[in-house]
Structure formats: C-alpha cells, structure tokens
Amino acid sequence: MYIKIHRGTSQIGGNLIDIGTAQTRILFDAGTNLPSLDGKEDKDLIEIEGLTYGKPEFDWVFISHHHNDHCGLVERILPGIPIFSGEETHRILDVISDFTDSPRPGIHFHFKNCQPIQLDDMRVTPIGVDHSAVDAYMFLIQADGKNVLYTGDYRSAEHIPAQIRQLLGGQKLDVLISEGTNIRAEKQSNNTPQNEKQVGQRACQLMMKYSGTVFVLCSSTNEERIRVMHQAAKAVGRTVCEDLFLTVVRTGREENTLRFVAHYTSEEKTPRTYAYFQHHFERQELLGAESLAKHPGKKVIFVRTSMLPFLMNYLACCPDEKNLLLYSMWQGYRETRPIKELLDFCDAYGIDVSYLHCSGHAYRSVIQELIRVLGPEALIPIHCESQDRRQFEELHPNCLMMRDGKRWEV
C-alpha cells in the first residue's frame, strides 16, 4: 500500500489524499483551498492527472464531510470516477447547489457508519466523528496487510479508539494520518467555551440580558451549534426564526419555529430555489421582514452576511429595541469583507456584538490522547499550518514529515 498526499501536508484545508495498491487507487477528500481573508475570488487551479483531467486513473473518491476544503473539487472530478459520501452530506451539498444555482455534486454512493466497504483489494470503513459539520467521518483503510487511519476533521474522540480496535481485530495500526488544525493551541481561558454545551449555557445568559432581538451568526450547516441555540432560546422563552435556506438545510427539525424569506425568489430566474419556496409558502410557513418584526414575543433570528436588506426592513419596524448579535464563527472571518460589512451594520444600528464560539477541531490534548491510545507505527501530520507541523514530533517517535506530491510506501 502507498500514500501520496497531493495537497494538505503544510496547510489547513484543500485535502487530497491518494491511497492505493498495485491494483486499486482511492482518493480521500477532494478539497479546495480555504478562501482568502482579503475577499479576493481566487480560483483553485490545482490539476491532477487522472482526477481532474486526462483519462480517469482513480477507482473511487471518498468525501469525509461537506466543508469545501474537503469536497469543493467534487464537481471537477472526471466522469466515470464513482464518489462516496454520507447520505446527509450528499443532501446538504445538493441543497447548497440549488440555492447557489451551481451544478449538483455527482455523488454516486452513500456509506454508513462503521460498515466496511470492500473495493477490490482495499477495504474502507467510515467512522462517524464529532465535528462542526454534521455527518463527518474518519476512514480506516485496509489493504496488503496494512492498516491506515485518516482522521478527516474531528473535535473529540472518546469512542473512536474502541471502535478502531474492534475493526482492527487485534491487528496493529500502521499509519495514522492526523489533522492538526489546533495542534499548537491548547484549551483557552475559562471564559472561552470548550464545547457546544458551554456555548449553549453562555447563550442562555446573554439571551436573558437583552430586551430586544438576539441575532445569531453561525454556519447554516453547523447543526450542533444551531441545535444548542434552539435549546438556549427555548430555555429563556424566545421564539427561534430561520430563513428558507436554513429551513431546507435542516429539513425543519424543530417545531414552534418561525420561517421567513430573506431573499427574493422567482420561478423564472431562480427555479431551483423557487421550488423550495413554493413548498413552504403553500403551507403558510413563510413570513416577510415586517410580519416577522410584528410577531409578538422575544425572538432569536439566525442570520447570514447576505441579509443586510432584510435586517434593515426588520429593524425599521422595531427601532427602539436593544438588540444583540451572537458572533458564533471563527474569529478570523472578521477580516473578510462580508463580515466587516455586517459588523459595521451592527455598529450603525446600535446592535451589540458578542463573540461566542468553540472550535470544531481537536485540541492538542485530544490529538495526543488519540495517538497514545491507538499507538500507530507511524504518524503523518496534515491539515495544519506549515510552521506547526513539527509540533507532532513531540507526540510520536516516528513522525513522517511528508511533502505534497511525494509517494510513500507503507
């Protein structure tokens, strides 16, 4: 068995991990580079022969989760190469493509948690993990008598070692390919939430302090974050409001939720989005900005950076309220133009902003414990800043500092 990392050894995101045998070749994740913080529309120009151009040379592609830095190149994969993902990952990507009027991803097969898939002489077992994306997985890859675990992105690993040991059946783990987004950072101060439960507890406290509307800025696909915000709102007697996109992404999970339309949809200009709109409109589930503002009671409204016109109309109907925005995303996004515009808007309208977030990635102590318990023969760091790769050498005596494009025989 060989491992060849086309991209990801010295950066966060853009994962492209090629693992195969003399007979079979599989790509794990097909990610694009993370967007630049300066707002420039940099296209990902990477080309891989046999994957994005030429004659197909990969037998299968496996996607660990729906974040773009792990699946953004899916639409460029050559026809004829079958793509696997989790069922919910596929559904979410379809919804996103419909609302952005982009090609639907050509995902062909779904895998299930801890159910091995035999592909010629290679066996792949997906293992569900906790991450800031629902339906995220690690992969155990077995072939030629070797065992390789690719972590994808994960936050905690309490139950993972027992599952891995059971799947290995007494065999050793030859290689652990581990993400290291937070390998340098350890858990922060006591005032910073370390998990979703603590995010929810702090959200309750903040929601009780404000007499007006609490707006929440978080990823529309961070299901666990959205769920704890729902729980916090319910605990303090607030009504939760979700726009059409969030409603469709989440398939209307909670009852007693108000649904609203933040963007114009047209059967002629945006037919794919309009189909979702029509479905919910006919069920009388959608409100406009003014109707939502006049609805009685205190509210929690999930927002996105594209909603400024909607927010202007909403606030015009309740000008005297003291409102709050819960910024529940990575702090680095504050440097992007859309986030800056939203924060400037909050400043202009007197909306307080409170940062409330926890990382979707494992801290050093979690990574260290996973390495210790699994005891791999070799460790390959990926998905971390170039200057942080050496941090892994302190965690394992056989740490392989691979470079993008180099092939290594297991």
Q: Which residues, other chains included, contact 181 with Cβ-Cβ below 8 Å and sequence gap of 6+?
A: 12, 153, 359, 361, 362, 383, 384
- Token representation of residue 124: 């792949």
More confident residue, 291 or 251: 291
The one-letter amino acid code at 79 reads P
Residue 190 has pLDDT above 70, yes or no: no
pTM of the model: 0.94
2-185+360-409 CATH fold: Metallo-beta-lactamase; Chain A (3.60.15)
DSSP-derived pairing of the beta strands 25-30 and 16-20: antiparallel
* pLDDT value, residue 43: 81
Domain ranges (residues) in the chain: 2-185+360-409, 196-355
| Percent of the chain clearing pLDDT 90 (strictly above) | 85
- C-alpha angle with apex 165: 370 to 359, nearest 5 degrees? 30
Residue 38, pLDDT score: 64
Higher pLDDT: 203 or 280? It is: 203
Residue 247 has pLDDT above 80, yes or no: yes
Superfamily of domain covering 196-355: Metallo-hydrolase/oxidoreductase (3.40.50.10710)
Q: How far apart are CA 134 and CA 139, in angstroms?
A: 16
What one-letter code names the amino acid at 25?
R
Question: What per-residue confidence (pLDDT) applies to 79?
Answer: 94
Contact 366, 376 (CB under 8 A): no
pLDDT at 309 over 70: yes
